[in-house]
């Protein structure tokens, strides 16, 4: 941040440059030296606007769609189906679908091959204790997260994974630079591609037969 002539700093100035007063405010922000985390977030947002993955090494492979959280990358059910059927196999070493729903939802129907990681500690144990690395540097490891609707649990887990991954490295290095959220979640995917689900069914989170399980997992998630 102290390097006034860095590419990121210059890019930021170009984006916000306007009236002399506005430019003065930008310079004032530099002089005030905001916290390191704030700077890193600003830099990451600027670079992500060019559709680069989390370590800024390359562009995202999968086509993205607009989602609720502009800070995350969303893919459509159709794109996930294309990944599952090998349309991107030339570029992907391994794609991991993380189902963030509760176990009773997962057992009632899930995307084939998806791993059920409903709690933050599950994600840390599965993905960060022994990170999954591609033996071929030209191929990618991508993570696709979802919940029932991909409105709360899936996006929140995506943010948690990126935060914990960042804490393991010198910025901007990451184990998993390419994270996606499945737009519409399992519900939308199931209705569009039931043949990719097993069992071929959909059990909602608020199913009346699983109220006690819901209560327990909500408590454990806090």
Exposure string (b/e) for 177-202, b if CB count within 10 Å is 16 or more? Answer: bbbbbbbbbbbbbbeebeebbeeeeb
**Pairwise CA distance, residues 159 & 206, whole Å:** 24
15 closest CA partner among 52, 53, 50, 66? 50
Catalytic residues: 147
DSSP assignment of the chain: ---TTSHHHHHHHHHH--SHHHHHHHHHHHHH---HHHHHHHHHHHHHTTTB-TTSSSB-SS--B--S-TTS-EE-HHHHHHHHTTTTTTTEEEEEEEE-S-HHHHHT-EETT-EE--SHHHHIIIIISS----SSTTSEEEEEEE-SSSSSHHHHHHHHHHHHHHHTSSTT--S---EEEETTHHHHHHHH-GGGEESS----TT-GGGHHHHHHHHHHH-
């Amino acid at each position: 941040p102290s390097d006034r002539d860095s590419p990121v700093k210059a890019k930021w100035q170009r984006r916000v440059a306007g009236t002399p007063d506005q430019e003065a405010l930008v310079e004032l922000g530099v002089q005030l030296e905001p916290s390191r985390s704030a700077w890193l977030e600003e830099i990451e947002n600027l670079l992500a606007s060019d559709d680069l993955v989390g370590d800024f090494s390359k562009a995202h492979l999968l086509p993205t769609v607009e989602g609720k959280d502009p800070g995350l990358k969303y893919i459509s059910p159709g794109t996930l189906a294309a990944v599952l059927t090998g349309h991107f196999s030339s570029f992907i070493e391994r794609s991991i679908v993380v189902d963030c729903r509760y176990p009773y939802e997962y057992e009632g129907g899930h995307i084939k091959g998806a791993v059920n990681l409903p709690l933050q500690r599950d994600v840390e144990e599965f993905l960060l204790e022994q990170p999954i690395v591609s033996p071929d540097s030209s191929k990618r490891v991508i993570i696709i997260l979802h919940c029932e609707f991909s409105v709360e649990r899936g996006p929140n887990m995506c943010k948690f994974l990126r935060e914990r991954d960042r804490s393991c490295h010198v910025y901007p290095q990451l184990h998993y630079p390419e994270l996606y959220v499945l737009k519409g979640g399992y519900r939308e995917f199931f209705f569009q591609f039931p043949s990719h689900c097993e069992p071929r069914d959909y059990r909602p989170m608020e199913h009346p037969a699983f109220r006690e399980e819901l209560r327990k997992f909500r408590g454990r998630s806090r």
